[in-house]
Amino acid sequence: MRWSMIKSLIRLNLVYSTDTATVDRIRKKQRENPNLNMSMRLIRTQLIVGTLFAAVFGIMLMFIDMKKNPEQFGIYGFFFVMVTFLQSFLVIFNVFYESRDMEGYRHIPVTTAEVILGKSVTVIMGTFFYLFPLIVIFFVMPFKAAPNIPLAVCFALTNTVLIPTGVLISAFVLINIIGATSVFQRHKKGVSAVLTGIVSMILGISFLALNPQLFIYDLLKNHTGLFEPYIKLLEFEASPTIKGAAVTLGPWLLISIFGILYTRKVILTNLYEQVSGSQSQNAGGKKHKLKVANEDTLKQEKNLKNMKQGFWKGRSLKRLLFKYNLGLLLDTTVLFQFLITPQIIMPLVMSSSIYQTSKYMNGIAIDWQYSIVAVVTGIFYAFMTSGMLHFIIISLDRENFNFIKSLPMDFSEYIMYKFRFAFVVQDIIPMAFIIGICVWLRIPYYIMLMVSLSFLFTALLICHRDFKSDYKHLDLDWQSVTQLANRGGSNIKKVLIFFLVIFLGTLFTVISYFISKEMSLELVRTISVLMLILLALISLSYHRMEVRFWKSQS
Amino acid sequence: MIEFKNVSKSYGSIKALKNLNITINNGEILGLIGHNGAGKSTAIKSLVSVIKPTEGEIRVDGLSLKENRVAIKKKIGYVSDSPDLFLRLSAMDYWDFIAGAYGLSDADKEKRVKELLKIFDLEDAVFQPIESFSHGMRQKVFLIGALLANPDIWVLDEPMTGLDPQAAFDLKELMRKHAGEGHTVIFSTHVLEVAEQICDRIAILKKGELIYLGTIQALKEMHPEQSLERIYLDMAGRKEENR
């Protein structure tokens, strides 16, 4: 094995373990300064962030009396094991599967062992951000808990080796088990997007779990089973016994040994072929060769079979468009940045304040008196969650956009279909969220209806505005979706607008609450209904105007 | 010298290559010609270790490919038929990696990259990700990668696709020069004129079988009344429709 080759492979694979926006930013600088070393820049950033993060949590732990407060250590332990596992899962997936480069190494004079080692080191580097704090937490803990220094050193070293190894190896094994399934081999793109989307979402939400002000923290605290193993580990290292070692460190040892053996005997023997997509294993683990090595031949066979079965019969254009547009969304960044973050994480963050409020809502009857607040809340919520997908959905077409324009079909119909598709996909989650919260807080149906309608009418306005904005700044040559999101104004301006929306939204909600309290029930009801009618009129008129605009573009 | 000895490749029940026997000498340019699915890329991919033949043996300079993969790969520069690999890397990242894999020193790499960049006119795009390039530009990136270490054997799968006339002309010149220096060039093409211009010999494949191996001159002499296109279509195409 050549170390220079492995270093070269690490440099290469760092691009896959880093987010596209960061890589694009460094490349821009590289164009101005060709001597800039991108890989060194990436490694340095990962090291700095990992060290900073480790230092912060290390210092925090120094001030915690763990013997008196084992729960806090338990939560920290669980949290960092979980996030390191999820992060390594993502990085392994990106470096081994999403990079789609395994096929490219075959003709190059580089051995399989070199490729796998190079990629594995890149994976470890990509997890520094969480791995460093994980190591620090389990390294510091024995010095706070163990009865004497020699034992503390011994436990610290054992923890440092065993726990990170167990976490990384189990992520590697899990991802390769998933990668070997026939479902994954058949629906690679869809499964990849869903998997990475879910993992990114959990990673995003998990940080909320460290904040005692949020309901996730309360939920976690009620599930002691999750962090009990780490409390037991703390107790064992405070007063060591053989039985304690078997119960606490034993499982980590078993996971590590099993993972290493499984990796050597099962995964590595087949990894190259599996990742390249030329061989697969079925869910039961029995090896069988798939006929996918010659994809062209297979596609021909499949098309022939489909044609014989009358595959195209009855397939409407709308159905094909739906499938096509759905395919555009099956990209991790699109899913996470434009759907999951605004649609799920944002409402979850907001739900914590609703949760706090709900504690004080016992005994308060929500009725028509709160209908203006309901309308304002719907408007505010639409501003928080709508429009992002519409801002990119046309540009996502890339060169297909011009090609579709050349087809003998009505352009305005195509574009309006895109609009409706994005509207449904984007607003289905916030709508479900509104209904869920209303049911949970036992809010009357008419208030729920008012929030929903004001949300929908406002969302319609915002989506039309952003949709047109995408067309105005159309970019069919983009390299990363982040590039699309950054069009039409500086990032600072966008962040300021976002905070202004939050500020104004909160302000108007509070004002509407106090004004409503001072008014008679009849007046509140009349004003809220009038507000809703006015909103509907504005929204639907704007919708008609936009439809006319798109027709004029045909 | 490259020897294909009874090389076959099957995908399930489909035989993509059937008992291929060819010997390619040093200093020779061999053109692989055939319709889509004739087995050209399968033969090429078997030689460059992208796929493993189901049967038979490939030997390069007397060494068995099966037993000396890395050593033989070092002798070969390969351009794939679909230039869509390593898309997230910049062109320079890719060449850096290739230079490392072939053991090129930094000075040699820099010198060679400069030479090839001039030929393929790609100076302005070296730090841009490959995915942002047009088909032709991607083809140039991978051509530069293949020629970077100046390996003895060039294996180029449809290398002219997407290239502008100047780059195609320059590549043909490079291929001639490389063979003239006693090295080997194997390439596949659909363009008979290109094969006629530069190939010492051609191999025509049809449904995985070698149906002709020899010079174009000899082929023409066998059918003196017919154009090269007609001869080729009669041999490799749908006979009843071409007549």
Q: Are A380 and A509 in contact (CB under 8 A)?
A: yes
CA angle A104, A107, A108 (to 5 degrees): 85
Q: What is the predicted pLDDT for the residue at A346? A: 67
Share of chain A residues as helix, strand and coil, in percent rounded to the nearest 5:
80, 0, 20
| DSSP string over A189-207 | HHHHHHHHHHHHHHHHHHG
Burial category of A419 from C-beta neighbours within 10 Å (exposed 0-12, middle 13-18, buried 19 and up) = buried
Q: What is the predicted pLDDT for the residue at A332? A: 67
**Residue reference for tokens 């979706």:** A481
What's the token pair of residue A389?
């997908």
CA distance B67 to B70: 9
Q: Which of B93, B102, B126 sits opposite A12 (nearest CB)?
A: B93
Q: What type of residue is A398?
A: R
CA distance B148 to B77: 8
Cβ-defined contact of B11 to A11 (cutoff 8 Å)? no
Q: Are A288 and A281 in contact (CB under 8 A)?
A: yes
What region, left, alpha or beta, does residue B199 occupy, with left being phi > 0 and alpha being psi -120 to 50 degrees? beta
Residue range B176-186: mean pLDDT, rounded: 94
CA distance A394 to A550: 13
Q: How many CB pairs under 8 A join A and B?
A: 87
Q: What is the predicted pLDDT for the residue at B26? A: 93
Structural domain spans, chain A: 53-280, 329-552
- pLDDT exceeds 60 at position B38: yes
Residue range B78-101: mean pLDDT, rounded: 86
How crowded is residue A530: how many other Cβ atoms within 10 Å of its Cβ?
Answer: 11
Q: What is the predicted pLDDT for the residue at A41? A: 86
Q: Which of B37, B85, B129 sits opposite A104 (nearest CB)?
A: B85
Q: Which of A386, A289, A310 is nearest to A342 (CA)?
A: A386
pLDDT in tens, B207-236: 999 999 999 999 999 888 888 888 989 888
Strand ranges across the sheet with B209-214: B76-79, B153-157, B184-189, B29-34, B201-206, B209-214
B8 confidence band (pLDDT: 50, 70, 90): very high
pLDDT in tens, A40-67: 888 888 889 889 988 888 888 778 777 7
Q: What is the predicted pLDDT for the residue at A359? A: 63
Interface check for A341 against chain B (CB to CB < 8 A): the answer is no
Cβ-defined contact of B48 to A291 (cutoff 8 Å)? no
Tallying the residues shown for chain A, one arrives at 554
Q: Which residue intervals of A400-520 are DSSP H helices?
A: 400-406, 411-440, 445-472, 481-485, 491-518
From chain A residues 81-120, the ones with a CB under 8 A of any chain B CB are 99-101, 103-104, 106-111
Q: Which residue intervals of chain B are DSSP H helices?
A: 40-47, 69-73, 91-101, 106-120, 135-147, 165-180, 192-198, 216-222, 228-236, 239-242
Min distance A2 CA to chain B CA atoms (Å): 10
CA distances from A93 to A42, A175, A188 (A): 19, 7, 12
- Per CB-CB distance under 8 Å, the chain B contacts of A289 are 12
Interface check for A293 against chain B (CB to CB < 8 A): the answer is yes
CA angle A11, B71, B84 (to 5 degrees): 45
- Per CB-CB distance under 8 Å, the chain B contacts of A7 are 100
Q: What is the predicted pLDDT for the residue at A293? A: 41
Percent of chain B with pLDDT over 90: 51
Q: What is the predicted pLDDT for the residue at A282? A: 37
- pLDDT exceeds 70 at position B116: yes
Q: Which of A255, A82, A229 is nearest to A237 (CA)?
A: A229
CA distance A130 to B48: 41
Q: What is the predicted pLDDT for the residue at A364? A: 66
Q: Are A157 and A243 in contact (CB under 8 A)?
A: no
Helix, strand or coil, per DSSP, at residue A119 = helix
Q: What is the predicted pLDDT for the residue at A305? A: 53
**Model-level pTM?**
0.70
DSSP tag of A213: T
What's the token pair of residue A439?
């049911």
- Tell me the average confidence (pLDDT) per consecutive run of 10 residues in chain A, 554 residues long: 85 84 80 82 87 85 79 84 88 84 85 88 89 90 88 92 93 88 77 76 71 65 76 88 85 93 86 63 37 46 48 59 83 74 69 63 73 91 88 89 75 89 90 87 89 95 94 84 76 78 86 88 92 95 94 81
What's the token pair of residue A172?
């590697």
Nearest CA in chain A to B105: A4
